[in-house]
Structure 1
Amino acid sequence: MNEPIQTSSKTTETREINTNYSYYDGHYNQPFYVDKTLLIKELLKSGHVLISAPPRFGKTLNMDMARRFLEIEVDEDGKAIELDVDEDKRCLKEVQTRSKNFKLFQGKKILRENKFVFKHFVKYPTIHVDFRELVGHDFEEILVKFRKIINKAFRQHAYLEKSSLWDREEYNKETFMEYFDPVKCASLNKLDVEEGLEILAGFLHGHHGKAVYMFIDDLDVPVHTMVYQNLMSTKDKRETIEFLQDITRYLLKENEFIGRSLSNSSLIFSTLILQRARTIFHITLLCMNVCFPNFTASKKLK
């Protein structure tokens, strides 16, 4: 005679996984969080890095994690916030720290790397731009949208308006205001737009006395959209690609103020945009290597 199967009276709790977080401050304390903070150490082994993976693989999330860890924190006057350290000058004090971003990394693996934390945590002036917004029906629309991206980048560093930088002859506050003021920025010509982020990097370097860390999110979205949605004429496509190539050249090859950069992309179109930039170290989140011209050997991260 078969005995009845006994079932447990306990019920299994079903929990929904929210995959909509693109920024680290909304993700780090989720119940299914996977600690990948040691990726930050990998990123700093090379000066200029590109991460590629399909959509929804966490490229923006990992970029934002790195930016939150690295970006210098300032008060309303633009003065860098000095963080408390312990007696051996290597580890941050959790209780007395003044960093807004420190709580994002409490209990995470990266904070066990004392020497690395002391050397790199909130040490870099940063510029962050998102190329996801660069979608248009013609080149003029792309130019209009990039002016807005530049203005947004300048306004992220509003403290520069009060900086003592302008007491020095080599820095021109009027130039800063042309990009900082939305109305003036909207009337900038093509060359001024191409040089805008390079100019901002120079101002940040002058104010902080440190090389800038550049972050470019969704680098290949403009080209991806042109190819698959076919929104532009051939002439506008060519102008847009050359425009993006010149911008990355200014930022990643001919800019003495940018010491490191991190970009991400979904497809191989990024190699088209980066043709005029310096050699980039490529990290793929896939299980295969993708060989790009102008790139060093790819590295796979599991």
Structure 2
Amino acid sequence: MKKDVLLYTGGEDFAEIINGGGYFVDKTAYMKELLITDAIKNSLFIRPRRFGKTLNLDMIRQFCRINYQNPGDKSYQQKLFVDNGRKLAVAGEYYKEFREKIMGEFPVISISFKTVEGTCFQQAVSQLIYKVGLLYDEFLFLIESSKQDLDDIEKYKKNKSFCKDKQDELDNPQNLNRAISILGTAIPQIASMLYKEYGRKVIVIIDEYDVPLQKAMIAEEPYYNKMLNIIRTLSGNIFKKDNEPWLYKGIVSGCLRIAHQSVFTDANNFTTFGMNDEPYTGFFGFTKEETHKLLNDCGLSDKESEVKEWYDGYRFGNKHIYCPWSLISYCYAATQKDIYAPQPFWVNTSGNDLITIFTDSSMESHNAENIDKLQKLMEGENVDISLMEFTTYPDLRVGVSFDVFMTLMLHTGYVTFAEGSGTVDKVTVRIPNQEILYCFNKKRELLFGENNPYWYNQALKLVDLLMANKTDEAQALISSMLKEFLSIRNTGDELYYHGFMVGVIGIASAAKGISFHEEIESGDGFPDIVLKNDATDTVAVIEFKKGRNERLERIQCAEDAAKQILDKRYAEPYLAEKYKNVFAIGIGFGGKDCYIQTLGNLAKSSI
């Protein structure tokens, strides 16, 4: 272990890492083809969150950015990329011509939508206006230039003033409309003025373009379509085919290539680089070789197998990729805090709202097949899917196919291609590592708690049915729950079903003020569950048995369970206490079904 390795957890500022002596995994070699090739005008990089997109885009920004006060002075980049003693790839002789043509040669406009969200549309627009206001501040020197038209300078001043003074006053419809208009034109306005000022084309970088769309869908007051119109207008005005000649390159990052929405319809030569598109499969994330070197440099080589189990597993093209956020966080904890146990670093910083929405919608639509496939993944199995273009975020709320959802999960880093799988059309996916499995398991735990309204309401309904001895309806409901929510493939004994029923009934009975007893001594033994409600003078004595996954076997088990209630006199104490309703209920389980046999109201039969 080496404590002198300086690790920037979550570091996104290239200059801060280099100048501060921080550890840096060299990705500079990827810039040449991206910035030189004429065929690639605009690029969209699709990668999961926390895979180094922001840092790499900042690296590009700092490499290309012109010295606005002294054009032609490249000393900043020379020190940052070449004369830093790190022997970065771009500092080599092979890249000399590339450095002469690109390094320090372009005005660069860079904006990130990573933190843009709001409980309502106005709040989200306010966040965007704040970010655009920072751009107006960055290039404020333009309004002092004699090269600029007076009308452009006046408009610049007005827009800057609005971003500063009206950012928090968007409840006013007039201000809101003005803000939306500025968002669509601010970057083209600034870019045009930069082009006029320096006579050089502009590079535009947009990081995490799709975050505002996702946040708009999960907000308390969803505003997806309104936000989509803003992003579509903004991208169209920046990357449109017939724009002014100021654009050199556009570079955009995000998690998803959203189809059927025309976000980039008007873009000129827009090329999407997904996880499997060469030559950029290793541009984001850490390769196996880079990870090996990092662990060795940190004195953690002996932890490589454990690190692989937790943070490897992503397959980008033919490369095995590790999650950089998790890996750096792990190495930092190990070298600085002597904490060697892997932790779920990535999933604790990445919103899991999409999983929640999909599972909830699958539950509410009684889509047992979706839940079953999710369970297969959580048990380490591979699942076959057909890759489908993601359509719109709101579709998740009304229901999308498992294939569409898994395509989304593939892009967002929750599943990856299985070994031997193709990467187009029909593919096989799996959960990549222990960290993501931890996330899914935590999500599964939430499905069975009172924080999940649908599950909770089903549990409340089941208790009502059992306490009313409505066994046909209770049987149907329990079987539905088993099919939709639980994996029965690995159930070996009665205890699995016992735990399931105790969990369901225990939560709901407490909420209803019904006494719940598990294996309490009664008669000559210990019934599985006893529910007692003094207010309605009702007791339900419930016994479980498990059989094979066959109908007749379940029926026999239910009958045997009911008979056991009689034979071992489980109901006798409640009959002696003169409860008016004492129901004896036997439940036979097998596979993902059950059968209920009731003996009726024993209190009446004993009169």
TM range (shorter): 0.7 to 0.9
Give how far 1:219 is off. Answer: 0.9
Picking from 162, 174, 183, the partner of 1:193 is: 183
Give how far 1:138 is off. Answer: 2.3
Corresponding position of 2:76: 100
1:55 counterpart = 2:45: no
Q: Distance in 2 between matches of 1:273 and 1:149?
A: 24
Q: Distance in 2 between matches of 1:291 and 1:56?
A: 24
When residues 65 and 144 of structure 1 are mapped into structure 2, their CA distance, relative to the original with a 3 A threshold, is: same
1:155 counterpart = 2:137: yes
Q: What amino acid is the match of 1:110?
A: V
Picking from 287, 290, 300, the partner of 2:316 is: 287
When residues 210 and 123 of structure 1 are mapped into structure 2, their CA distance, relative to the original with a 3 A threshold, is: same
1:36 counterpart = 2:18: no
Equivalent residues of 1:178, 1:184 under 8 A apart:
no
Which stretch of the first structure deviates more once superposed, 186-195 or 266-275?
266-275
Give how far 1:100 is off. Answer: 2.3
1:146 counterpart = 2:164: no
Q: Secondary structure at the match of 1:148?
A: helix
Q: Secondary structure at the match of 1:165?
A: coil
Gaps of at least 5 residues in structure 2 are: 168-174, 276-280, 282-314, 319-386, 391-422, 424-607
Equivalent residues of 1:126, 1:214 under 8 A apart:
yes
Q: Secondary structure at the match of 1:57?
A: coil
Give how far 1:189 is off. Answer: 4.3
Corresponding position of 1:255: 243
When residues 16 and 37 of structure 1 are mapped into structure 2, their CA distance, relative to the original with a 3 A threshold, is: closer
Corresponding position of 2:554: none
Corresponding position of 2:228: 241
Deviations 1:31-83 (A, max 9, x none): 642221111112212111111211221111110001100011122xxxx3323
Q: What amino acid is the match of 1:34?
A: V
Give how far 1:111 is off. Answer: 2.5
Deviations 1:235-277 (A, max 9, x none): x211111111111000111532222111111234488573434
Picking from 204, 209, 212, the partner of 1:219 is: 209
Give how far 1:220 is off. Answer: 1.0
Equivalent residues of 1:147, 1:185 under 8 A apart:
no
1:126 counterpart = 2:108: yes
Give 1:80-91 correspondences, 5 Å limit.
80-83=70-73
Which stretch of the first structure deviates more once superposed, 185-194 or 105-114?
185-194
Give how far 1:223 is off. Answer: 1.5
Picking from 256, 260, 274, the partner of 1:267 is: 256
Across the aligned residues of Structure 1 and Structure 2, the Cα RMSD in angstroms comes to 2.8
Q: What amino acid is the match of 1:53?
A: R
Gaps of at least 5 residues in structure 1 are: 1-11, 84-97, 294-299
Which stretch of the first structure deviates more once superposed, 19-28 or 51-60?
19-28
Equivalent residues of 2:29, 2:89 under 8 A apart:
yes
Picking from 6, 11, 15, the partner of 1:25 is: 15
1:71 counterpart = 2:65: yes
Corresponding position of 2:450: none
1:205 counterpart = 2:186: no
Give how far 1:291 is off. Answer: 8.5
Give how far 1:160 is off. Answer: 0.8
When residues 41 and 174 of structure 1 are mapped into structure 2, their CA distance, relative to the original with a 3 A threshold, is: same
Give how far 1:151 is off. Answer: 1.3
Aligned-residue identity in percent: 20
Q: TM-score, normalised by structure 1?
A: 0.76
Deviations 1:129-148 (A, max 9, x none): 11123211222222222222
Higher RCO, 1 vs 2 (CA within 8 Å, ≥6 residues apart): 1
| Residues matched between the structures, number | 260
Equivalent residues of 1:244, 1:273 under 8 A apart:
no
Q: Distance in 1 between matches of 2:263 and 2:90?
A: 31
Q: Distance in 1 between matches of 2:316 and 2:8?
A: 25
Q: Secondary structure at the match of 1:82?
A: coil
When residues 39 and 292 of structure 1 are mapped into structure 2, their CA distance, relative to the original with a 3 A threshold, is: farther
When residues 31 and 209 of structure 1 are mapped into structure 2, their CA distance, relative to the original with a 3 A threshold, is: closer
Q: Secondary structure at the match of 1:101?
A: helix
Q: Distance in 1 between matches of 2:34 and 2:123?
A: 34
Give how far 1:18 is off. Answer: 3.4
Equivalent residues of 2:49, 2:255 under 8 A apart:
yes
Q: Secondary structure at the match of 1:132?
A: coil
Corresponding position of 1:165: 147
